[in-house]
Structure 1
Amino acid sequence: MATNGNVLVTGGAGYIGSHVCVELINAGFTPVVVDNLCNSNREVMDRVETITGTRPELHLVDIRDRAALDEVFHNCSVDAVMHFAGLKAVGESSTIPLSYYQNNVAGSLTLFEAMAAHDVWKVIFSSSATVYGDPASVPIDESFPISATNPYGRTKLMVEEILRDMSRAPDAQWNTTLLRYFNPVGAHESGLIGEDPLGIPNNLVPYIAQVAVGKLPALQVFGDDYNTADGTGVRDYIHVVDLARGHVAALQKQLTQSSGCRVYNLGTGNGYSVLEVVDAFAKACGKEIPYKVAPRRAGDIARCYAKTDLAQQELGWKAEFGIERMMQDTWRWQSQNPNGYRPG
Structure 2
Amino acid sequence: MRRAVALAARGLGSTSPNPVVGCVVLDRDGRTVGEGWHQRAGGPHAEVHALAEAGDDARGGTALVTLEPCNHTGRTGPCAQALIEAGVSRVVYAVADPSPVAAGGAATLRDAGVHAEGGLLADEAAAVNAAWLTSVRRQLPYVTWKFAATLDGRTAAADGTSRWITSSEARADVHRLRAGSDAVLVGSGTARSDDPHLAVRGVPGAVQPLRVVLDTEGTAVRAEARVLDDAAPTLVAVAEDAEAGALAAAVEDSGHQFLRLPRTAGGLDLDALLAALFAQDVRRVLLEGGAGLAGAFVAQGRVDEIVAYLAPALLGAGPAALADAGIGTIAQALRLSFGETEHLGPDLRLTARPAPDALAPEPSSTAAAPAVHPANEEF
Same-fold call, TM cutoff 0.5: no
TM-score for both structures, normalised by structure 2: 0.29
Higher relative contact order (CA 8 A, sep 6+): 1
TM-score by length of 1: 0.31
- Which has the larger share of strand? 2
